[in-house]
Amino acid sequence: MQDLQREHAPPSETRGGVPHTRGEDRSGSRRSFAERLVVAFQRWSIERRVLVGFGLVFAGILVISAVSYRNMTVLFRNTHQDQRSHELIELLVGMGTRMDEAEIGHRRYLVTGDESYLKGFHILDERIPDYIRYARELTRDIPEQRQHVDLLNQLMQKQLEAERAAITLRGRTGFEGVRDIALTGVAKAELEEFHRIQAQMEHDENRSIYGRGIQSAAITRNTIGLLSVGAFLLFVLLASVYYLIRHDITERRRVAAELERRGELLEAANKELEAFSYSVSHDLRAPLRHIDGYASLLEKSAQQLLDDKSKRYLQTISESATRMGQLIDDLLVFSRMGRQEMLRSAVNLDQLVKSVLHDLRHDMQDRNISWSIGALPEVKGDPAMLRQVFSNLIGNAVKFTNTRPLATIEIGSDQSSPAETVIFVRDNGVGFDMQYAGKLFGVFQRLHRANEFEGTGIGLANVRRIIHRHGGRTWAESELGRGATFFFSLPTKMEST
Amino acid sequence: MTATKPILLAEDNPRDAELALAAMEEYHLADKVILCHDGAEVLDYLYCRGQFKTRLHGNPAVVFLDLKMPKIDGLEVLRTIKSDETLKPIPVVMLTSSREERDLAESYALGANAYVVKPVEFHQFLKAVKELGIFWGVINEPPPEVPGRHKS
């Protein structure tokens, strides 16, 4: 959805901007504000845009839901109140009718003395409390109507009392005593007042009903409008979700295809590399062998003819060829180290170090070395590769301490971190300047002149490559002339390539 | 008996061949060496055909095989030798530039008797070839001749 907005916003900007040459100041400032908004929006990350977009839509839907809920409540209340109004009107009409019946009935009785005409009167007498209670309940929330009800109550009581008095009088004096009353009726004014108030109340209720009707209609229209907007927002939301999901799926497919393609390329590159190093291994060595071989043969066959200088030249040719052979071998080992399948087995470093020391014993002849080897842990990794690591590090320590009358070499571990095991090899040899520490682990990088210490400079590159393949790190600390310490770490959980 | 058996050297590179012969010469083994320039020639010799039709019958004391050769390569020759009942007993030494694990593994899987990487340094090469020649051509007792189909 964010992308949709982003795609759609700029055209509407230009469309809005170009034709409005008049009133430029207004549209200009608006445009720049909108532009600023678009720019700010585009500066956001996709996640933020999605979040903000969805947030806005959700907020809109929430507001619409709240307003609609309130509207529905008002509608319900109005309906309920309308019902009460209708009930009240009906009740008032009923009360009026009863009043009239009672009045007419009692007058007939006054004239005829027939007590059956008093039925209306008795019913009214009996029902007044009910009527009033009901009316009070219906007008509970409307104070004016409630006052009217009280007034009606008084009027009805007065009327009833007057009629009762007249009936009693008729019983005592006969028709003659109530003749005037029978003709004119008692409490005529009260009855009229009653009808007036009753009409007033009916009118009020009808007006309320009408008012509420108008309100309900407005609210209904309002709600329909809001729900339409809500439906639109929901549609936008759904469309965006659909778009995002589809976009995501397309992207995933694309990435998967890309990965597959790259995997194939990588595989092809690896195969080529393998063929390359195979060829190097086979074909590059032969001419070197010939150079050295023929130089030696020449030296031998022309021994009498050659002076010392020429012999030295031949010697140098041989040495160079041999050295190049060594470099090629080292490079091949290094290259193989990166491609070779890696084993993951438990490796007992104590034993590994012991066997490496055994292998190096020839290099340590005539050397005075004090060894301090701490307890080493068992780690997970490729035994042959880790052996190469120790062989290189310990070999270096032995090599770079050969100027010391007493060499001290310490091998130990630090297992204080739960995530990794750190192993170190420390010597008191010539050390190196820390400013070259970054170069130390590079291929064919040497910090010493060839005539100082032998070697091709591949050892530490191999160490780094092996440790990286195990998911660990390599680093070194030293002070020139005061020995060096080489560290490497192995993660306790293996999950490397 | 061993002294009369020839050493078969399969080497396509004339310089390598010359160097190898120079090495053999030190121990006067050179005249025992029969040089083949490719795999096909090796098989021709072993089966007494082609230019070797008229040679004296009998297997060589040892075959030194280069891996990379024109026409038929070393591994192919090795496979042929080791799958032929008559040729099978001949000791075969792979003498090659390759230190590739793949080649090592395949050679031994096919039944090579030894695998020697030619050292770049001539003195070492000399030493290696000499020692090989002495061991396989003189010290080692070759298998007895087995009558085969190509024998008369």
Q: Which residue has the higher pLDDT, A357 or A41?
A: A357
Burial class of A31 by CB neighbour count within 10 A (0 to 12, 13 to 18, 19+):
middle
Task: Give the pLDDT of residue A497.
Answer: 47
**Residue A293 at interface with chain B, using a CB cutoff of 8 Å:** yes
**Which of A285, A292, A297 is closest, CB to CB, to B22?**
A297
CA distance A469 to A337: 9
Residue A330 banded pLDDT, cuts 50, 70, 90: confident
Residue A13 banded pLDDT, cuts 50, 70, 90: very low
Q: Which residues on neighbouring strands pair with residue A490, listed in sequence order?
A: A421
Task: Give the pLDDT of residue A30.
Answer: 60
pLDDT in tens, B78-125: 999 999 888 888 889 998 887 778 888 999 999 999 999 888 888 888
Return the residue of A nearest to B19 by Cα.
A293
List B residues 86-105 in contact with A (Cβ-Cβ < 8 A). Answer: 96-101
pLDDT in tens, A271-326: 888 788 777 777 788 888 889 889 988 988 888 888 889 888 988 898 888 888 88
Helices (H) and strands (E) in chain B, counts: 5, 5
- Mean pLDDT on A383-393: 90
DSSP string, A433-451: -GGGGGGTTSTT--SS-TT
Q: Which residue has the higher pLDDT, A28 or A344?
A: A344
Q: Is the model's pLDDT at A487 over the cut of 90?
A: yes
- Mean pLDDT on A437-448: 78
Q: Which of A14-18, A380-384, B67-71, B146-150 has the lowest mean pLDDT?
A: A14-18
Residue A359 banded pLDDT, cuts 50, 70, 90: confident
Q: Which of A17-31, A199-213, B72-86 has the lowest mean pLDDT?
A: A17-31
Beta strands in chain B (DSSP E): 7-10, 33-36, 62-65, 92-96, 114-117
Task: Give the pLDDT of residue A451.
Answer: 67
Which positions in chain B touch A296 (Cβ < 8 Å)? Answer: 122-123, 126
Amino acid code (one letter) for B68: K
Locus of tokens 């055909």: B49
Return the residue of A nearest to B13 by Cα.
A286
**Residue A47 at interface with chain B, using a CB cutoff of 8 Å:** no
CA distance A186 to A6: 86
Q: Which among B93, B130, B98 is positioned nearest to B115, based on CA atoms? A: B93
Q: Which among A479, A395, A494, A391 is positioned nearest to A434, based on CA atoms? A: A479
**Residue A280 at interface with chain B, using a CB cutoff of 8 Å:** no
Return the residue of A nearest to B68 by Cα.
A282
Task: Give the pLDDT of residue A450.
Answer: 66
Locus of tokens 């007033």: A200
Q: Where are the alpha helices (DSSP H) in A280-359?
A: 285-301, 308-339, 349-359
Per the prediction, chain A carries an average pLDDT of 84
Return the residue of A nearest to B101 by Cα.
A336
pLDDT in tens, B11-25: 888 888 888 888 888
Cβ pair B120:A288 closer than 8 A: yes
**Residue B116 at interface with chain A, using a CB cutoff of 8 Å:** no
Cβ pair B19:A283 closer than 8 A: no
Return the residue of B nearest to A318 by Cα.
B121
Cβ pair A293:B15 closer than 8 A: yes
Q: Is the model's pLDDT at B26 over the cut of 90?
A: no
Task: Give the pLDDT of residue B152.
Answer: 37
Contact A193, A155 (CB under 8 A): yes
Q: Is the model's pLDDT at A49 over the cut of 60?
A: yes
- pTM here is 0.53
Task: Give the pLDDT of residue A439.
Answer: 81
List B residues 49-68 in contact with A (Cβ-Cβ < 8 A). Answer: 67-68
Q: Is the model's pLDDT at A56 over the cut of 50?
A: yes
pLDDT in tens, A169-201: 888 888 887 887 777 777 778 888 889 999 999
CA distance A296 to chain B (A): 7
Q: Is the model's pLDDT at B132 over the cut of 90?
A: no
Residue A495 banded pLDDT, cuts 50, 70, 90: low
Mutate which of A289, A316, A329, A337 to test chain B, going by most B C-beta atoms within 10 A? A289
pLDDT in tens, A450-469: 667 777 778 888 899 899 98
Task: Give the pLDDT of residue A496.
Answer: 45
- Mean pLDDT on B60-65: 88
Which positions in chain B touch A285 (Cβ < 8 Å)? Answer: 97, 118, 120
Task: Give the pLDDT of residue A457.
Answer: 79
| Interface pTM, i.e. ipTM | 0.77
Neighbours of A191 (CB within 10 A): 22
Task: Give the pLDDT of residue A489.
Answer: 92
pLDDT in tens, A207-252: 999 999 999 999 999 999 988 998 998 898 889 889 988 988 999 9
Return the residue of A nearest to B103 by Cα.
A278
CA distance B81 to chain A (A): 23
CA contacts within 13 A on the Cβ side of A102: 28
Task: Give the pLDDT of residue B38.
Answer: 86
Task: Give the pLDDT of residue A207.
Answer: 92
Task: Give the pLDDT of residue A82.
Answer: 92
Contact B63, B81 (CB under 8 A): yes
Q: Is the model's pLDDT at A155 over the cut of 60?
A: yes
Please tell me chain A's helix, strand, coil percentages from 3-state DSSP, rounded to the nearest 5: 75, 10, 20
Contact A427, A484 (CB under 8 A): yes
Q: Is the model's pLDDT at A27 over the cut of 80?
A: no
Which positions in chain A touch B101 (Cβ < 8 Å)? Answer: 336
Q: Is the model's pLDDT at A476 over the cut of 50?
A: yes
- Mean pLDDT on A477-484: 86
**Residue A321 at interface with chain B, using a CB cutoff of 8 Å:** yes
Cβ pair B121:A332 closer than 8 A: no
Task: Give the pLDDT of residue A220.
Answer: 92
Task: Mention every residue, 6+ apart, whose C-beta is less than 8 A from residue B101.
Answer: A336
Task: Mention every residue, 6+ apart, whose C-beta is less than 8 A from residue A442.
Answer: A461
**Which of A285, A292, A326 is closest, CB to CB, to B122?**
A292
- Mean pLDDT on B45-57: 82
- Mean pLDDT on A1-15: 42
**Which of A283, A289, A329 is closest, CB to CB, to B118?**
A289
Mutate which of B21, B121, B123, B126 to test chain A, going by most A C-beta atoms within 10 A? B121
Cβ pair A289:B68 closer than 8 A: no
Q: Is the model's pLDDT at A23 over the cut of 60?
A: no
